Amino acid sequence: MNPIPTRDAAARRRATMLRRIGAIAVAAAAVFGYQRIVNSAEPMRTVPAPTLDETPGASHDETAVFAGGCFWGVQGVFEHVKGVKQVTAGYAGGASETAHYALVGSGLTGHAESVRIVYDPTQVTYGRLLQVFFSVAHDPTELNRQGPDEGSQYRSAIFPTTAQQRTVATAYIAQLGGAHVFPAPVVTRVEAYKGFYPAEAYHQNYLELHPDAPYIAFNDLPKVAGLKQHFPALYRADPVLWREARL
């Protein structure tokens, strides 16, 4: 996920290459064991639920936008959360003109790789989504990076789409910091929502389409396993996959 020239074409070549060596990744996982896979990903922990959460209204369609490193894994996690209707990988924080993989990878656009989550607040609240985000989807103590990926485009950020979401997110970060849940300070930023721009189609459902890719196997599949382990009541085995027609 590090930026390189002609990134769209390079990403397609990379995907082809990853599929070819996918069998090697599976064999390696078998040799070194599940613990090796877990140790290569961001650390996971069950953090306390927010003491302040949204009050669901009559709507059954709310939108949350989170940034937590490479969007492949973050999308993959939330596609397995009950009450979530759709998760789209994309870009937030910058202008529409620069919302392209090749440009975002430069780290100069203001964008962060993000996910847009459409969810039913009567089934899963914004606060519960935040709890999953901070527990298993990423490491909120890493500044401008996640795992092997570096740059501001991989920052930890929340883009509230309503005033209530901003209040809940800000209070939750303060709650986690005051409780010293993590061994280092939480660096997650609550940023102004300027819009969300879906990523190119070949990035969507990447975890589900390429489970044997080494990057996915070592960095992202443990996050889904962590969701199942830490949030069994929220976990759904069959993911709700992105569909272009629903954008």
Residues 142-181: pLDDT tens digits?
999 999 999 999 999 999 999 999 999 999 999 999 999 9
Q: What local confidence, expressed as pLDDT, does residue 184 receive?
A: 96
Give the lowest-confidence range in 25-39, 41-55, 228-242: 25-39
pLDDT at 35 over 50: no
Strand order in the sheet with 189-190: 189-190, 156-158, 62-68, 112-119, 84-92, 196-198
Bridge partners for 112 per DSSP:
92
pLDDT at 135 over 80: yes
Q: What is the rounded distance in angstroms from the CA atom of residue 154 to the CA atom of residue 172? A: 21
Share of the chain above pLDDT 70, in %: 81
Q: What is the pTM of this model?
A: 0.83
Q: Are 119 and 62 in contact (CB under 8 A)?
A: yes
Backbone dihedral region for residue 26 (phi beyond 0: left; psi -120 to 50: alpha; all else: beta): alpha
Active site residue 70: yes
pLDDT at 16 over 70: no
Confidence category of residue 41, pLDDT binned at 50, 70, 90: low
Q: What local confidence, expressed as pLDDT, does residue 1 receive?
A: 54
Q: What is the rounded distance in angstroms from the CA atom of residue 5 to the CA atom of residue 9? A: 9
pLDDT at 89 over 60: yes
CB atoms within 10 A of CB 157: 20
Confidence category of residue 33, pLDDT binned at 50, 70, 90: very low
Side-chain half-sphere exposure of 159, counting CA atoms within 13 A = 26
Q: What is the rounded distance in angstroms from the CA atom of residue 169 to the CA atom of residue 166? A: 5
Candidates 135, 139, 115, 99; CA nearest to 67 is 115
Q: Are 207 and 224 in contact (CB under 8 A)?
A: yes
pLDDT at 22 over 50: no
Catalytic residue among 11, 41, 67, 70: 70
